[in-house]
Amino acid sequence: MEFNTIWNTYNSHLLNFVKSKIEDKIHAEDILQEIGLKLYAVLNKGEKINNYKSWLFQVARNLIIDYYRKEKVKKNRESTYSEINDEGICVCDLSSFVIQNYLPKKYGIPLYKSDIEKKSQKVIANELNISLPAAKSRIQRARVKLKELIEECVTITYNKNGTIVDYQLKNTCEIPKELQEEIKRINLTL
């Protein structure tokens, strides 16, 4: 069977399928083009496809999975970049300092291992010789305590997605000397 006959038979069904899985119309159409290119390449090589419909939809599923993998990596990169301010200073440096110096060790150590060292909660539980539920609980409590600690001195503005877009030091807050030194050391402007 030739490419045009197969493509004309299935492309609208494929596009509907892809659009049902991916909201962005442009990306859905890009995936449809990739499916067409793969079909053309296979037919051009003379490879045999027993069931065109099954083959095409399997290619579509694989490309959709690839799309979401790429999006996940892209979002992870964006969240890493959002931790770096305009001067290239990583706010995580200050977070690390605050976690280690201002939270009780019971909560600070698990949070540091989780959010700064990027260890899994299971690994943290093993390292601290506590149960997994205890590790999860301590990390959650530490996040709450850290947020409360920060909000005592900083007014934080979030966008509709919950991402921090601005922060201002409150006039009523006195920053401890060692924290001022750390802010100066990492060259962060509040």
Backbone angles phi, psi at 169, to 5 degrees: -70, 135
- Residue-wise burial string across 50-60, b where 16 or more C-beta atoms lie within 10 A, e elsewhere: eebeebbbebb
Domain with CATH 1.10.1740 in the chain: 3-82
Of 24, 21, 42, which is closest to residue 7 (Cα–Cα)? Answer: 42
Range from 59-73, 119-133, 158-172 carrying the lowest mean pLDDT: 158-172
In this structure, CATH architecture of domain 91-185: Orthogonal Bundle (1.10)
- Please count the residues of the chain: 190
Helices (H) and strands (E) in the chain, counts: 8, 2
Q: Grade residue 101 by pLDDT with cuts at 50, 70 and 90.
A: confident
Q: Is the pLDDT of residue 167 over 60?
A: yes
Measured CA to CA, the distance from residue 117 to residue 167 in angstroms comes to 25
Q: What is the DSSP string of 108-141?
A: HHHHIIIIIS---HHHHHHHHT--HHHHHHHHHH
Of 141, 109, 145, which is closest to residue 125 (Cα–Cα)? Answer: 109
Prediction pTM value: 0.48
Average pLDDT over the chain, rounded to whole? 81
Backbone angles phi, psi at 87, to 5 degrees: -90, 5
- Condensed to tens digits (0 to 9), the pLDDT of residues 55-100 reads 998 899 889 888 888 877 566 555 544 444 444 444 556 677 788 8
Q: Pick 3-82's CATH classification: 1.10.1740, 1.10.3210, 3.40.50, 1.10.1760.
A: 1.10.1740
Q: Grade residue 128 by pLDDT with cuts at 50, 70 and 90.
A: very high
- Residue-wise burial string across 131-154, b where 16 or more C-beta atoms lie within 10 A, e elsewhere: eeeebbebbebbbebbeeeeeebe
Query: What number is the average pLDDT over the span 142-152?
Result: 85
Q: Determine the pLDDT at residue 186.
A: 64
What one-letter code names the amino acid at 29?
E
What proportion of the chain, given as a percentage, has pLDDT over 70?
83
Domain with CATH 1.10.10.10 in the chain: 91-185
